[in-house]
Structure formats: C-alpha cells, structure tokens
A and B are shown apart, each in its own frame.
Chain A
C-alpha cells in the first residue's frame, strides 16, 4: 500500500482552528508530506502534543495521537517511545510549551538523546492565551503582559538543543515549506533527539503588536530575514537582531538513550516471567 499525505490527516476535522496567516497549518501539511515520503505506516506513528495553538494539532492527525499537559509533551513522549521503541514519536510544541514551561524536559530529553523528533513552532509568544510573552519573545517586544516591552531576552531554541546534546538540530521558517518537510524527514530518520524549529508568524497577537503590515508582510519578513547560518555568523550584532539563522546546525550520531541503556543492561531471558501485558 502506498501512503499519501492525506492518509495521515483527518480531513473531516478541517478547516483548522488556527488564524489566517498562522504557520501551523503549513507545518501540518509539511509533516504529513514528510511521513508520506518516508512511507511510515500511520499506526506506527504517534503525534504527541502539548498545550497551545500548535498543541491542538493532535486533533488533525489520523495517526495515533496524544495531547498532554503544558510543557510536558517530551516527558509523556519519552514513556511512549520506551514503551514501544518501534514507534515513530513526533512531538509538536510551541515555544511556550517547549522551552518556557517545558524547558527542563527539553534540555534533559536532548541530553538523554531519547529517540524523539521535536517540531517546535516558534511564534515568539503564548498565542492561544492571548499573546503574553514567552521565553523566546525578544527583549523589548510588545506583548499583552509587556505593554512597555519584554524585560528579558529570549532563548535561542536551537542553541539550547545543541548544547544539551541533541543529534539533529535545524531551523527554518513557515515561509520555507519544502525545507520544513526536508528537515522533518531527516529528523525522523535520525536516531536520538532531533529538533526542527520553525519560526512562524502570529498575525493575531505577537505579529500584530510588533510588525507593521498584516500576515503577508510577516511572511515576507520571514522570507527576507532568514539567512543561512554561515552568513548570519558574519553579521554585526545589530544585523543579527533583524535576521534569523537557518539551516542544519547539528547532524551527528551519538547513540540514543535506549541503545546505551541496553548495552549497559543486557536483557536476560526472563522477559516472560511474572505477569505482563504483551
């Protein structure tokens, strides 16, 4: 049987609840296309999400799905993966879910190198709850809880993942549709912790308060300001503020958690003793 991208989606649940101009719908399609190109059987895929706009994506997938509490998607996903290592577990988190409330689980998942694929859509704020600032909102940005400017700088999500030891780290934007699909494919195929960060507009909240022009202007901004990392690194500090470094930052083969665990703890043939479900 040949899978098409529609086999991974609940088309009857569309149209999406997201705002016009939001990047979430683009990433859903890119993810579904990636799964189809990899020909992964839908029943071997688990989409695990957290809370927030991007966290509502679980309702749109026809694969197995999990929707948990705010910030904890990676922890649930860790259990899901270890419980059945044959599964492809893809974790969808916004910037609030992944690195604000979820910061601790984010760095530990990368450190532990658990074989998960994290797709973080970063729109610089908590969109669903009305546009408050998150740990990725830029310094001095205007949000509903920083009317005079955010007093803290935002995280570099990819740098966090890289420093923590992730095997695959890549960033792109909602404008670069084909790149999203390509990076997600690579991330899924990579054993160990993989991160794809997608910078996305939030036309209703963050975008509206910090950019002139509507959704199209925001998409244009992403297109123009995204530059390959090699070019970004050569920029001045002021230029860096106005640009986004994109590309694959990390692509390595450190052994994943379960591989190391089994090497240190070989299974004796007692696996069938006692009760048990399988």
Chain B
C-alpha cells in the first residue's frame, strides 16, 4: 500500500487524488490531459487497492457521463481534466446538476482558449466553471492555493457534493497542481466525511425527487428497492418527464435554493495581512500566494495591504467582498485572465470603490515585483 506516511513531499495533483480516496471516492473515469494526468495516474494505481475502479473513457464526454452513472449506483465518483476536456464535459455536467448527482470534477486550469499552452498556468475558466453548461443552474466551485488545500478542499468538495446532492468543481491551476510541498496526510478516520441522505420507510412510497424540509431529496441508488428514475428532461418528484407548466419553475427554484440558502455553509474565504489596511487585494489560487509575498514585502516599506482570498469562487462571496469594498479605499484584483473575478467584484461594488485590474495571460505566474508595483501605484 502506498498511502504516504508521515511528513512527505507530495505533488498537488497527488494530494488531490489522496483527498478523494480518503473522502471515499472509489470510481474515477477520465481522459488524460496535461496538466491533470497525474491525478488519473494515482487513481489507476491506488483505487483498486481500495476496491475501487479506474476506467479510462474514450473522451471527456463519456468520463463525465460515467461518473454520474456510477454515483447513481451509489459510489463516490470523480474525474480530472483541464480546459479542453472541461469544455467537453459541459453538457453532461448539466445532467449532473439537473439530476442532483453528487460528484467532483477537478479542472487544473491551463492557458486557453482552445489548445492554448498545455503546460502553463492560467485562471481563465472561472466564468466557464459558473456558466459553462447551458441553462439556469447553480454550482459550487472551490479554489485550492496549496498542496494542503489540494487535499483538504478535495475532501470538502466530496462532502459538499454529498450534502447538497450536486456536482462540485475543484478549480485548480497548473502551478498548484504541479508544485510539491510537505504535507502529512491525516490518519484515516480523523477527517469529517459526509454521506448522502438515504431514504427511509416504504419503498413503494419513495419519490426520488421529493425534497425533505431542507430542499434536498434523499438519494437511493440503482439496485435499492427504492426505485430511482433519473432524467435529463424536465421532471417532477417521480423523476419522470413532466412538461406541465410550472414544473420547471419549481425545480429550478429548488435547485437554486439548495445552494443559495446555504451560502454560509458553502462560502469560505481567508483574510491575510493587517486588518486596518486601506488597500485590499482580492485574489485566489496560485496568484494569492504571490500576493501574500507582496503584502509581506510591502509592509517592510511601510505600506499596509491586506488580502481577501477566495477559497470558494462560486457561489461568489458577495457579503465578504462587499464588506471589503465598503472598508477599503481601493481594491486590487490580480488574476491570470483578462478579468473574470473582477466583474463579480464590480457587480457587488455599491460604494463605487476604485477597483484596479491586474491581468497576466502569458502562462507565467505574477511576480512579486509586479504586484508590488501595482500596490505602490495605488497607494499613492
């Protein structure tokens, strides 16, 4: 058995795979794509040791389909990809959302669009992770910024998926996926694991999409005596097609409420730096690390800056970002894209606080000097 013992140097992608296995994932279906393939390789090697199955499907469309199917049969499932594969997965991701199927999709972002630069990082799939699949829908997207978070946020992704009966996206990037840091994996049994609610009572009375009070239907599996009908068409509480007026309204509203009524549970942020700073950086993923470095160095120059790091990208941290905008004299939003989180920050900017964009789209991480330069420019 090769589960890393003690303090070890683990690659971000490796830590993600171990997080999934520790969270109970026993089925991975995927297609190799740089810079995510290491996740598949760890799963191919390790999943059978735990009674699980690794299958390499013919494409990402099939991979997304297979993880939905296996989840409906009761397994915890996931896949891993990057931009081009993520694009292929969109249609079936919508199936997962509409059918309320717990599963995790890891997107290790690389430069796009199209083939882009396979081995270089970007953060440009933020909006796609929110709206890539057609139609009204909600989604949970988490953003790791370290090897530790590649482990712990993967566990969290599975827990949120099970709790809210939804696909969850782990939106990483090539830097975090490929760097190695020291991490001691927790002892088995010491982390919180959440499993989907199961139905109780008379199987004959079971309606697969009838919600409990919390808006989430208990989930039976194929093979149970509780009969499951999962449909990609508009469906009612029986799971069967229903095109009567108001069916879709009710369904969409309930799906949205599942996420947006639970913002406090789902949204996580990190605050870094002096609380009384005038200028705040809002950043996520690999970029946030460079920002922390810049904040530490700015302090040496006597400039006080702090950082709001988005750990959950979607649903967006409206409340926390709004508070930052109210308090700060200026906000800086550096991203390895042409401005995607930027738009969301502006959306909640009720105080007309100046918001400064910093973009980098050349497949290179920001340098500390670049961030510092912007800080100095804004601080004047």
Residues of A within 8 A of B162 (CB): 277
Q: Are A271 and B51 closer than 8 Å at their CB atoms?
A: yes
Known: A78-B62, A108-B62. A43 touches B225 (CB 8 A): yes
Q: Are A275 and B22 closer than 8 Å at their CB atoms?
A: yes
Mark out the residues of chain B between 302 and 354 whose CB falls within 8 Å of any chain A CB in the assembled complex: none
CA distance A268 to B46 in the complex (A): 10
Mark out the residues of chain B between 212 and 240 whose CB falls within 8 Å of any chain A CB in the assembled complex: 221-225, 227-233, 239-240
Q: Are B61 and A75 closer than 8 Å at their CB atoms?
A: yes
The answer to the question of A63 belonging to the interface, with a C-beta cut-off of 8 Å to chain B, is yes
Stretch at the interface among A27-35, A81-89, A123-131, A173-181: A81-89
Residues of B within 8 A of A84 (CB): 73-74, 221-223
Known: A67-B231, A277-B196. A72 touches B65 (CB 8 A): yes
Q: Which of A63, A80, A82 contacts B227 (CB 8 A)?
A: A63
Q: Are A43 and B21 closer than 8 Å at their CB atoms?
A: no
Q: Are A277 and B75 closer than 8 Å at their CB atoms?
A: yes
Q: Are B1 and A83 closer than 8 Å at their CB atoms?
A: no
The answer to the question of B91 belonging to the interface, with a C-beta cut-off of 8 Å to chain A, is yes
Q: Are A13 and B240 closer than 8 Å at their CB atoms?
A: yes
Q: Are A72 and B50 closer than 8 Å at their CB atoms?
A: no
The answer to the question of A66 belonging to the interface, with a C-beta cut-off of 8 Å to chain B, is yes
Q: Are A268 and B49 closer than 8 Å at their CB atoms?
A: yes
Q: Are B57 and A78 closer than 8 Å at their CB atoms?
A: yes
Q: Are B229 and A58 closer than 8 Å at their CB atoms?
A: yes
Give chain A nearest CB distance to B49 CB in angstroms: 5
Q: Are A67 and B233 closer than 8 Å at their CB atoms?
A: yes
The answer to the question of B24 belonging to the interface, with a C-beta cut-off of 8 Å to chain A, is yes
Q: Are A69 and B92 closer than 8 Å at their CB atoms?
A: yes
Mark out the residues of chain A between 52 and 111 whose CB falls within 8 Å of any chain B CB in the assembled complex: 56, 58-59, 62-69, 72, 75-84, 86-87, 104-105, 108
How many chain B residues touch A (Cβ–Cβ < 8 Å)? Answer: 57
Q: Which of B75, B188, B196, B223 contacts A87 (CB 8 A)?
A: B223
Q: Are A79 and B223 closer than 8 Å at their CB atoms?
A: no
Known: A75-B69, A83-B70. A44 touches B58 (CB 8 A): no
CA distance A9 to B76 in the complex (A): 30
CA distance A162 to B229 in the complex (A): 31
The answer to the question of A276 belonging to the interface, with a C-beta cut-off of 8 Å to chain B, is yes
SS class of chain A's interface: helix, strand, loop or mixed?
Answer: mixed
User: Max chain B CB contacts within 10 Å: which of A13, A62, A81, A84?
Assistant: A84
CA distance A43 to B315 in the complex (A): 37
Q: How does the 8 Å CB contact mask read for B19-34 relative to A, with 1 for contact and 0 for none?
A: 0011110110100000
Q: Are A78 and B50 closer than 8 Å at their CB atoms?
A: no
Q: How does the 8 Å CB contact mask read for A255-267 relative to B, with 1 for contact and 0 for none?
A: 0011001000111
Residues of A within 8 A of B36 (CB): none
The answer to the question of A213 belonging to the interface, with a C-beta cut-off of 8 Å to chain B, is no
Interface residues on A, range: 35 or more
Q: Are B58 and A108 closer than 8 Å at their CB atoms?
A: yes
Residues of A within 8 A of B74 (CB): 83-84, 277-278
Q: Are B1 and A275 closer than 8 Å at their CB atoms?
A: no
The answer to the question of B41 belonging to the interface, with a C-beta cut-off of 8 Å to chain A, is no
Q: Which of A43, A63, A78, A277 contacts B24 (CB 8 A)?
A: A277
The answer to the question of B288 belonging to the interface, with a C-beta cut-off of 8 Å to chain A, is no
The answer to the question of B193 belonging to the interface, with a C-beta cut-off of 8 Å to chain A, is yes
Mark out the residues of chain B between 60 and 83 whose CB falls within 8 Å of any chain A CB in the assembled complex: 61-63, 65-77
Residues of B within 8 A of A69 (CB): 65, 91-92, 95, 232
The answer to the question of B241 belonging to the interface, with a C-beta cut-off of 8 Å to chain A, is yes
CA distance A266 to B70 in the complex (A): 20
User: Max chain A CB contacts within 10 Å: which of B26, B65, B70?
Assistant: B65
Give chain A nearest CB distance to B9 CB in angstroms: 22
Residues of B within 8 A of A44 (CB): 223
Known: A67-B233, A78-B62, A80-B72. A62 touches B227 (CB 8 A): yes
The answer to the question of A198 belonging to the interface, with a C-beta cut-off of 8 Å to chain B, is no
For B159, give the chain A residue with the smallest CB separation.
Answer: A275
The answer to the question of B211 belonging to the interface, with a C-beta cut-off of 8 Å to chain A, is no
Q: Are A78 and B55 closer than 8 Å at their CB atoms?
A: yes
Q: How does the 8 Å CB contact mask read for B189-203 relative to A, with 1 for contact and 0 for none?
A: 000010110000000
The answer to the question of B183 belonging to the interface, with a C-beta cut-off of 8 Å to chain A, is no
Q: Are A80 and B69 closer than 8 Å at their CB atoms?
A: yes
Known: A261-B53, A273-B188. A87 touches B48 (CB 8 A): no
The answer to the question of A158 belonging to the interface, with a C-beta cut-off of 8 Å to chain B, is no
Residues of A within 8 A of B188 (CB): 273-274
CA distance A72 to B58 in the complex (A): 11
For B191, give the chain A residue with the smallest CB separation.
Answer: A275
For A67, give the chain B residue with the smallest CB separation.
Answer: B231
Known: A79-B67, A275-B23. A67 touches B232 (CB 8 A): yes
Q: A69-B65, A72-B92 are in contact. List 18 more A-B contacts (CB 8 A).
A: A43-B225, A48-B69, A68-B68, A69-B92, A78-B66, A79-B29, A80-B73, A80-B222, A82-B53, A82-B55, A83-B75, A84-B222, A104-B59, A108-B57, A258-B53, A268-B48, A275-B158, A276-B26
What are 22 A-B interface contacts by the 8 Å CB criterion?
A43-B223, A58-B240, A59-B240, A63-B227, A64-B229, A65-B239, A66-B230, A75-B69, A78-B55, A79-B29, A79-B65, A80-B73, A82-B55, A82-B66, A82-B70, A83-B73, A84-B223, A257-B55, A258-B53, A275-B195, A276-B26, A277-B24
8 residue pairs, one from A and one from B, having the closest CB atoms: A79-B69, A83-B73, A275-B24, A271-B51, A83-B70, A275-B193, A265-B48, A79-B66
Residues of chain B touching chain A, judged by Cβ–Cβ distance below 8 Å, are 1, 21-24, 26-27, 29, 48-51, 53, 55, 57-59, 61-63, 65-77, 91-92, 95, 158, 162, 188, 193, 195-196, 221-225, 227-233, 239-241
